[in-house]
Structure 1
Amino acid sequence: MQNKKFSPERQSAFEARFEAQKIAYGPVVFQCVRYAWKRGMLQAIADAGDTGLSSDELASTGRWTPYVLKVVLETCLSAAVVYLDDGRYVLDKAGFVVLTDPITQVNIDFNHDVCYQALFSLEQSLDAEKPLGLKVFGDWPTVYEGLSQLPEPARSSWFAFDHYYSDTSFPDILPDVFATAPRRVMDIGANTGKFSLAALGANPGIELHLVDLPGQLAVAGGALQEAGLRERATLHPTNLLDPAAKLPADMDVIWMSQFLSCFSEAAIASILERAAEALGPRGQVLIMDTFWDRQRYDIAAYCLINTSPYFNNLASGNSKVYESGDYVRLAEAAGLELVTARDNIGYCHSLLRFAKKAPKAA
């Protein structure tokens, strides 16, 4: 396991003060860079190549006034998104990333369309351990009940964020799922059915049991029907926050992807206990998630750690991006033991494989 310490070289007092100001003005920089990207300023500068464009040349297009150009591009200059070369704006490396990197764009859209307004309530959400920021979108206890009703563009940005992080991993993990030749597979937290579609399409010999809230299962069921795979899938509408809600039994593989991070430790413990009870004699639980402590690069750990406030403020109020050791500890308490752990899957996933603990010899 790779623990990230975030210990850069010692900063001077001056450097530390500059970094602190970046934090203070972070929301301002975010909005101006986003504006420059969305409104085409960065693309216009990029199209000019190494020669760049002057403010007058940009203004002559009629797309932006000289005032707006100065306000936005000077902030972009301060953030190393553009640089000035003899009075001409040229795209800098960070600006190139904003223009071309899909994960950066997904993260910007998610933080703007889903999180930005809601984060004004983060202080209250943390104190109450309830998703009080969710009120900007609707009156639901958690975001999951409201996903199908989120207004645009929040809904599209939420699913783009969720799918980008998970979809890059599915092709790589199917051999892991089928390694024990399972016949009955349960997808807990099926969401829109992405994993179930991939698994059913890859292995005609399995049957899928999808477990999620009714709204999500309606979407997943429609996707399975459209793909001609509905007859091999059984839908189990279930509120897993209800500790009395049982899971279908005798499963060879129980799959959970980016699911347990939606819940508190107490809820995770309850779900894992019920998952252990639902396993067949040689069944296993496979958990794929984004553990910040198992990342190869600090940049991935940084993104994951800073997704946790979303979980508090919008998702459930008491969930987060966990360390892998948290899941191992809770699984052991539920009667499971870690068999294998595999990292570097897709963009930033790890796969933990659990089996029932062997009974102690008398």
Structure 2
Amino acid sequence: MKKELSAIDAKYEAQKIAFGPMYFQAVVALRELGILQFISNNRKGVSIETIIEKTGVSEYSVTLLLEAAEVLGVVEVEDDIIKISKIGFFLLKDEMTRVNINFMNDVCYLGAKNMTESFKNGKPEGLKVLGNWPTIYEGLSVLPEPAKTSWFEFDHYYSDNAFPEALKIVFRNNPKLIFDVGGNTGKWSFACCKHDPNVRLKILDLPVQLKVAQANATERNLLDRISFHPIDLLDRSQEIPKGADVIWMSQFLDCFSKEQIIQILENACYAASENTTLYILEPFFDNQNFPAAHHSLVATSLYFTIMANGNSKMYRVEVMKDLARQAGFEIVETYPLIGDSYHTILECKKRA
């Protein structure tokens, strides 16, 4: 049974929310000024005077940031000796945490002030801090730095770990032609080419994204095995071509609203034959082993609101299954949390 918070504890939790942005930026400053790394390097602990001397950061700055770090539990202070805590260790060394902080700071932070307007208007009103596009997808290849690097690191972190196990699943029936829908920079297509020397791929995406994927394929000498099909899947007049053994959608459908997902999947269903398999790879927030993953994925939905397109989100697994069924597919198999990842694969076939 969940323990009820006292009024004092509830008020304290409320202050964590109220001052959350300040404490977040304090952690970013601790990291970027090298203070947190210096403390970590001195495992037995270090004095404030030594931190000031060795980092070259002013006494004022070090004092304020360490006071914030102590409140957050990022450092432990005993007899004026500063030690890094487990939380501080994860802030420095954990890849998921590093990627999430950079994504929030470089991509989302300035735009987050526009969240209310984004909900009112159904548009990513925060995106204007990065560029003048209707959605972030038109601008991915030309995002200003460091937002561009942080966006792609975030995107790849939450997909790449799933690829080794996903390849085993997709290639069980030796597909000869795979459509990589929303192929982005081409990482899945390149992984497929490495996995099977005979497979051919067609990447379907917006023209601006295909330029990046094509450049990457050229660099890898894969133009003889990978072709490119420009398409805006929100335009009902543009159809997914027929002929694929596999239609692959990796972390793609979460970029759209429910209505748009049904539209895209109906397009895929029309293109599919009875022998075509549709695979949907998604990190469903209600199908996670650890609270850190659930927490991160729900926050990612808010990124979609303010920065991406204003109407998409991370979904529950049963919601996605229902949308696929509405579009004409049946769910043949569910592969939950494949490999060392946050992802589930839905294997779908066109309903007879």
In the TM superposition, residue 85 of structure 1 has moved relative to its aligned partner by: 1.0
- Distance in structure 2 (CA, Å) of the matches to 1:53 and 1:101: 22
Q: Does the CA-based 8 Å contact 1:76-1:82 persist in structure 2?
A: yes
* 2:173 corresponds to 1:180: yes
Aligned 8 A contact 1:261 1:319 in 2: yes
Q: TM-score, normalised by structure 2?
A: 0.97
CA distance 1:8–1:310, shift in 2 (3 Å): farther
3-state SS of 2:224 partner = helix
154, 165, 177: which one aligns with 2:158: 165
Partners in 2 of 1:171 and 1:285 — Cα distance?
18
Q: Please state if 1:356 is matched with 2:350.
A: yes
Distance 1:140 1:117 in 2: 16
Moved more, 284-293 or 273-282: 273-282
In the TM superposition, residue 226 of structure 1 has moved relative to its aligned partner by 1.5
Measured in 1, the distance between the counterparts of 2:39 and 2:323 equals: 51
Secondary structure of 2:114's aligned partner: helix
Q: Is 2:100 the partner of 1:101?
A: no
Q: Tell me what 1:3 maps to.
A: none
- Which amino acid in structure 2 is aligned with residue 49 of structure 1? R
User: 1:4 corresponds to which residue?
Assistant: none
1:1-362 correspondence runs (5 A): 9-50=3-44, 52-61=45-54, 63-345=56-338, 346-358=340-352
User: CA-to-partner distance for each residue in 1:123-171, whole Å, 9 max, x for gaps?
Assistant: 1001111011000011100000001111000000000000111111111
Q: Distance in 1 between matches of 2:40 and 2:200?
A: 50
Question: 5+ residue gaps in structure 1?
Answer: 1-6
TM-score, length-scaled by structure 1: 0.95
Any idea what SS the aligned residue of 2:281 has? Answer: strand
Q: Which amino acid aligns with 2:81?
A: R
* Residues 38 and 55, structure 2, Cα contact 8 Å, conserved in 1: no
- Rounded Cα–Cα distance in structure 2 between residues aligned with 1:180 and 1:257: 19
Q: In the alignment, is the contact (CA less than 8 A) between 1:250 and 1:281 conserved in 2? A: no
After superposition, give the CA deviation of every residue in 1:154-191 in whole Å (9 maximum; x if it has no partner): 00000000011111111111011112221121000000
SS in 1 for 2:245: strand
**How well do the aligned residues superpose, as a CA RMSD in angstroms?**
1.2
The percent identity for this pair of structures is 42
Query: Segments of 4+ in structure 1 off by > 4 A?
Result: none
Per-residue deviation, 1:250: 2.0
Does 209-218 or 11-20 show the bigger shift? Answer: 11-20
Q: Distance in 2 between matches of 1:298 and 1:8?
A: 16
- 1:84 aligned counterpart, secondary structure: strand
Structure 1 CA distance for aligned equivalents of residues 8 and 147 of structure 2: 39
Q: Distance in 2 between matches of 1:12 and 1:233?
A: 60
How many residues are treated as equivalent by the alignment?
351
Q: Which amino acid letter does the alignment assign opposite residue 12 of structure 1?
A: S
Q: Secondary structure at the match of 2:276?
A: strand
Gaps of 5+ in 2: none
| Contact 1:208–1:232, Cα closer than 8 Å, also in 2 | yes
